[in-house]
Amino acid sequence: MADSVFIEGLVVETVVGVYDWEREVTQSLVIDLEMAWDNRVPGRSDDVADALDYATVSRRIGTCLKELRPKLLEHGAEVLAGVLQAEFGVIWLRLAIRKPGAVPGAKAVGVCIERGSR
């Protein structure tokens, strides 16, 4: 399945990081996500119930990361991938989490994972 639904540049404010000072503040994470989805069905029906609703997914990403308060970006990415697969039936996804300003001189640092198969 070559079709997909994507979310680009979703900003989530949460507690994240491995250092003590990072557990006392919130920081911005930027999420880029592509999820395999058969868009022929909603393409025919014009019904959001047949679609992978990117608004609902975006809200779920926010609540997940705010509750999780991960130390590592890797942990945030792994848990998010599991939620998307279990709750939304996503069979394949590519997910990047960026942490802007975390490393002096770098625009952003982050991780990218791919889970499942198309």
Ligand X SMILES: Nc1nc2c(c(=O)[nH]1)N=C([C@H](O)[C@@H](O)CO)CN2
Residues that bind ligand X (CB under 6 A): 17-19, 22, 72-74, 99, 102
Hey, which bits of the chain come out as E strands? Answer: 4-14, 27-36, 92-100, 108-116
Minimum distance between the CB of residue 22 and ligand X, rounded to whole angstroms?
A: 6
The Cα–Cα gap between 46 and 34 comes to: 21
The Cα–Cα gap between 99 and 28 comes to: 7
Minimum distance between the CB of residue 31 and ligand X, rounded to whole angstroms?
A: 14
Element (H, E) at 42: helix 40-45
Q: Active site includes 66?
A: no
Task: Please list the residues that pair with 92 across neighbouring strands.
Answer: 116
Minimum distance between the CB of residue 25 and ligand X, rounded to whole angstroms?
A: 11
Q: Which is nearer to ligand X, 10 or 108 (CB)?
A: 108
Q: Which is nearer to ligand X, 25 or 41 (CB)?
A: 25
> Catalytic residue among 66, 71, 99, 107, which?
99
List the catalytic residues: 99
